Every structure is written in structure tokens, then in C-alpha cells.
């Protein structure tokens, strides 16, 4: 273990083979040995670890004991863990990591980058008031809140009351140049693009929970 490089603590609701864990895994691989990482999955699903470069300094501690008991006990457990491990930054993802955000919001605290990428089925139509209030209080001292859509930016600004200067909007997208070729390497049988047509394609699960992230 190299203690001279930044230590990043990631808290996911799940580190299964899904969108955000896969994206973060590729980012970790890209930056290589510039940081060491601790990854916590609150549901104990670590399926995305298969995407990570096995040579990198990434640990997956079993912290189930910290999640035992009521809310106040869990917050104390998380705060104690943060104090003992002293990571350089806490990277939290979505509602399932919000208790860690709250635990870190009290002094002394570490830098927190919180990412919100969408909602579950129970918030597909609208956000829940109790969760809005919980997020508002938990995120009050968070340095940066990352969102991938203008809808989420509006919710963070006007519902969770996050100051605009703390919100970073990074839209989802595709590196078009990476796929730009004069002769495509794949052809869909029977497909013929007309000169006056604009074709938009996507490969993704169409999940109800993605509605508010659009």
C-alpha cells in the first residue's frame, strides 16, 4: 500500500454490474496508480469489481457491522470509520449512500463529492418529501454535487437547496470522434440510411427508474 497517493473512499448502494459502477471502474482503471481506492457497497454486491484492473490498489472491506442498529448508531459508526481511516475524499453515489454523507457532514469532515444519477421506482413520478428533506440536510455541507441531467440540476437547486456554485452538471454522452469512421465496421442487415435522415441509436435497458434522470 502506497500511503503517499490520495486515498479515495467510494460508497455505492450497489457495486453490481450496472451503469455507475462500470463507469467508475473504467475511471479508476484510467487513472491507474494515481490514487488508491476503498469501495463500499451497502448491499454487498461487488459484481463490477471484475471490470477493475487487478493490479491497482483497490480494497473491498466488509463493513456490515457498521450498518447495524438504528440511524444514530449507524451515523456514529460511519463517522468513526471516516475518522479512523482518514480518506482524502468521500465519493458517494445516489440515495443509498446518503447516510454516509450525513455522517460526514458534521465537524471534523472530509471533502465529499456526491453524485446523483437518478431515482428508484418509488420516486419515478416525483421525489419523496421525506427523502428531499433528508438529502437537503445531509448535503448542506457537501462541497460538490454532481448531476448528469438538467432535471436533476433543477431538483438539486430548487428542492434540495444546494447552492448553484456547488452543483456540477456533466451530461451523459458518447465520444462521437471515437466511433467516427469513413467505413463502418458493422452493418445492420437491411438498414440503409437516406441522405436526408438523422439516425439516433441507443443500447441500454429502458428502466422506469430512469424517467426522472432524463
pLDDT of residue 81: 97
Q: Which cell numbers hold the place of 159? A: 428542492
The CA distance from 66 to 80, in Å, is 10
pLDDT of residue 1: 61
What's the DSSP call for residue 105? T
The CA distance from 135 to 69, in Å, is 21
Query: What predicted TM-score, i.e. pTM, was given to this entire model?
Result: 0.83
**Among 51, 64, 56, CA closest to 22:** 51
Tell me the pLDDT of the chain (214 aa) as tens digits.
Answer: 667 899 999 999 999 988 899 999 999 999 999 999 999 999 999 999 999 999 999 999 999 999 999 999 999 999 999 999 999 999 999 999 999 999 999 988 999 999 998 887 888 788 999 999 999 999 999 999 999 999 999 999 999 999 999 999 998 877 677 666 655 555 677 777 788 888 777 666 666 555 555 5
The CA distance from 64 to 29, in Å, is 27
pLDDT of residue 124: 74
Q: Which cell numbers hold the place of 207? A: 428502466
The CA distance from 75 to 102, in Å, is 7
The CA distance from 53 to 55, in Å, is 5
Rounded (5°) CA angle 14-21-109: 75
The H or E element containing residue 115 is strand 111-115
Amino acid at each position: 500500500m502506497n500511503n503517499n497517493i490520495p486515498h479515495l473512499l467510494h460508497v455505492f448502494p450497489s457495486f453490481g454490474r450496472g451503469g455507475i459502477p462500470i463507469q467508475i471502474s473504467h475511471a479508476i482503471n484510467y487513472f491507474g496508480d494515481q490514487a488508491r481506492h476503498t469501495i463500499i457497497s451497502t448491499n454487498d454486491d461487488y459484481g463490477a469489481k471484475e471490470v477493475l484492473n487487478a493490479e491497482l490498489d483497490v480494497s473491498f472491506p466488509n463493513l456490515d457491522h457498521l450498518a447495524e442498529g438504528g440511524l444514530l448508531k449507524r451515523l456514529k459508526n460511519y463517522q468513526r470509520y471516516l475518522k479512523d481511516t482518514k480518506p482524502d475524499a468521500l465519493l458517494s453515489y445516489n440515495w443509498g449512500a446518503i447516510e454516509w454523507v450525513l455522517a460526514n457532514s458534521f465537524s471534523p469532515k472530509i471533502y465529499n463529492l456526491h453524485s446523483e444519477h437518478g431515482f428508484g421506482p418509488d420516486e419515478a413520478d416525483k421525489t419523496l418529501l421525506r427523502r428531499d428533506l433528508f438529502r437537503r440536510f445531509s448535503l448542506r455541507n457537501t462541497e460538490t454535487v454532481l448531476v448528469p441531467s438538467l432535471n436533476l440540476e433543477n431538483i438539486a437547486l430548487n428542492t434540495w437547496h444546494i447552492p448553484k456554485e456547488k452543483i456540477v452538471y456533466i451530461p451523459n454522452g458518447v465520444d462521437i470522434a471515437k466511433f467516427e469512421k469513413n467505413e463502418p465496421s458493422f452493418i445492420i442487415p437491411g438498414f440503409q440510411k437516406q441522405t436526408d435522415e438523422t439516425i439516433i441509436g441507443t443500447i441500454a435497458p429502458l428502466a422506469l427508474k430512469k424517467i426522472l434522470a432524463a
